[in-house]
Amino acid sequence: MAVLAALASPIPALTQQGLPAAPVPQSLGVFRPDTGLLAGHLESRMTPFPILETGEAIGKWMPSAGQIEIWDEGTTIDTETSQVTAFEVTWVSTTPLSQGPLVVRFYDKLKKGNCGTLLQEIFLPNLPRGGPRGEARAWKILVDLSGGWEFSLQNPSGDFFWSLECPEHETGPYLASQDSHYPGMKKMSLTLHGSPPGITVFHPKKGTNANSLILVASAPDSRGWVHWEIPGAQENEQHLLLLATRTLETRLPTGTLLIDEQFLITAPIRIEGGHYYGQVPQLNENRIFAQAVDSLGQQWSNGIHLRW
């Protein structure tokens, strides 16, 4: 990792010719760092807002060939959206093992093109490999970062580096369409999801009193209308939405209050069945902080910084 960070002008690793063919990837569903791999039909808690897709699959893949960390670079579609809430990664393997780990890392890209700070590292354990006779098998997984694993791309232009660590030579990234910036080279298949423009998710910074609810929001339209959602809430459940102009962490027995109650801008707003569509108050600064809580005050959500 130290060697990678010291490179002054990184060159994408995907320059091999005669790459092996890859089968159509099979989806494994959703992985959450806090709970592991979930069934494919379960809904992800992340906001479905793609900010990077590397292109069409080309049916090829790249064995690691002894490289511990295979890496690439990318640029997000919307440079105003910097917080990453989920990503989808695809790999291929011919190693006749039932399971093995992968590690995905994201790095900041400095103004001079250098590879900078490690922004996030996600360890993915017990993922499937190739067939029992060394047949190539392709897999993809959606990694849901909501709940405290979100990270922000620090380069204003949306540029970043990322890598896939494969412990076996016979495992490596699935490849996407040719990169126009580097003719003849391929891109490792990657999809990034992020918060919509003007939305930043935040969590408690102190202690281990984690909040159990997930609150997501749409980008406000020109008149300030926003759709708020608590994924997983039942139709008969009631929650309250708190809106304030300042943040303040207050530890409670059941979670952490993330907004300052002294600076609420409305009375608590009732959320029925996990959905609420309403217009945010127009303020001079055009920004608010939001948090949700159940009607009994037993479950608290992440915070949302909303700008418009």
Q: Where are the domains of the chain?
A: 2-194, 199-307
- pLDDT at residue number 11: 38
Band of pLDDT at residue 305, cut at 50, 70 and 90: very high
Model confidence, pTM: 0.78
Average pLDDT, the chain: 83
Of the two residues 217 and 77, the one the predictor is more confident about is 217
Mean pLDDT of 201-215: 76
What are the φ and ψ backbone dihedral angles of 141, each rounded to 5 degrees? -145, 140
CATH 2.30.40.10 assigned to domain 199-307? The reply is no
Band of pLDDT at residue 38, cut at 50, 70 and 90: confident
Give the Cα separation of 12 and 163 in Å (integer): 10
Judged against a pLDDT cut of 50, whether residue 203 lies above it is answered with: yes
What are the φ and ψ backbone dihedral angles of 80, each rounded to 5 degrees? -75, -20
103-140 confidence digits (pLDDT tens): 999 999 887 888 889 999 999 999 999 999 999 999 99
4-20 confidence digits (pLDDT tens): 333 333 434 444 457 89
% of the chain residues with pLDDT over 90: 41
Burial classification of residue 204, based on how many CB atoms lie within 10 Å of its CB (0-12 exposed, 13-18 middle, 19 or more buried)? buried
Report the range of poorest mean pLDDT among 114-118, 241-245, 292-296.
114-118
Report the range of poorest mean pLDDT among 90-99, 185-194, 269-278.
185-194
Judged against a pLDDT cut of 60, whether residue 172 lies above it is answered with: yes
What are the φ and ψ backbone dihedral angles of 6, each rounded to 5 degrees? -85, -10
